[in-house]
Amino acid sequence: MKIFMTGYSNLPEKEFIENLKQNGITMVIDIRERPYSRFQKWTSIKKLPDILYKHGIKYRWMGGSLGGSLFWKEGDECGLFKETEQKVFLGLEKVVDCAREETVCLMCACGDFDRCHRSVIATFLISDFGTDVYDIDKTGAAQKVSLT
Ligand SMILES: [Zn+2]
């Protein structure tokens, strides 16, 4: 099973959609705690679901169970907090469930994969759920994530 990820960073709407299409994405799962952006207004939860829908892509917000503050990362070490571990794992299970029927892409704002909590999510998806994870870069190329 393949799960994609991406960070829209400063990409214009059109290129972002293009990158999703290029990789056959059928569902975007938003993992931002706050699904709004002052600079990238099109990424707001008030706009993005409609934009995606027009391109035949579904939208789901999961920032409540997969948001950045639920993970910690220090250098190469990363993990979950005891108190919210269960919530996060339920979130990850939902992602895997969705990926059985859809080509899923987890979306955050951060351009840099290594500094974003999606790198921690990728670690769990690979080690605990046995999925393959790919991060879509600015150019639309999908880079396979490997655990080091
Ligand atoms: Zn991020």
Neighbours of 23 (CB within 10 A): 17
Task: Using the mean position of ligand 1's atoms as its centre, give its distance from the Cα of residue 124 in Å.
Answer: 16
Task: Using the mean position of ligand 1's atoms as its centre, give its distance from the Cα of residue 129 in Å.
Answer: 21
The CA-based dihedral angle spanning residues 43, 65, 91, 26, taken in that order and rounded to the nearest 10 degrees? -10
Task: Using the mean position of ligand 1's atoms as its centre, give its distance from the Cα of residue 114 in Å.
Answer: 9
Task: Using the mean position of ligand 1's atoms as its centre, give its distance from the Cα of residue 118 in Å.
Answer: 6
Task: Using the mean position of ligand 1's atoms as its centre, give its distance from the Cα of residue 5 in Å.
Answer: 10
Task: Using the mean position of ligand 1's atoms as its centre, give its distance from the Cα of residue 56 in Å.
Answer: 24
Task: Using the mean position of ligand 1's atoms as its centre, give its distance from the Cα of residue 117 in Å.
Answer: 5
Q: For the chain, which residues make up each domain, given as ranges?
A: 2-144
pLDDT tens digits, the chain, 148 residues: what are they? 999 999 999 999 999 999 999 999 999 999 999 999 999 999 999 999 999 999 999 999 999 999 999 999 888 788 889 999 999 999 999 999 999 999 999 999 999 999 999 999 999 999 999 999 999 999 999 999 998 7
- Which CATH code of 1.20.1440, 1.10.1740, 3.90.190, 3.40.50 fits the domain covering 2-144? 3.90.190
Task: Using the mean position of ligand 1's atoms as its centre, give its distance from the Cα of residue 57 in Å.
Answer: 21
Q: Considering the entire predicted model, what is its pTM? A: 0.95
132-137: long-range contacts (C-beta < 8 A, 24 or more apart)? 132/1, 132/2, 132/3, 133/2, 133/3, 133/4, 133/5, 134/2, 134/3, 134/4, 134/5, 134/23, 135/4, 135/5, 135/6, 136/4, 136/5, 136/6, 136/19, 136/20, 136/23, 136/105, 137/6
Task: Using the mean position of ligand 1's atoms as its centre, give its distance from the Cα of residue 110 in Å.
Answer: 4
Residues contacting 46, CB < 8 A, separation 6+: none
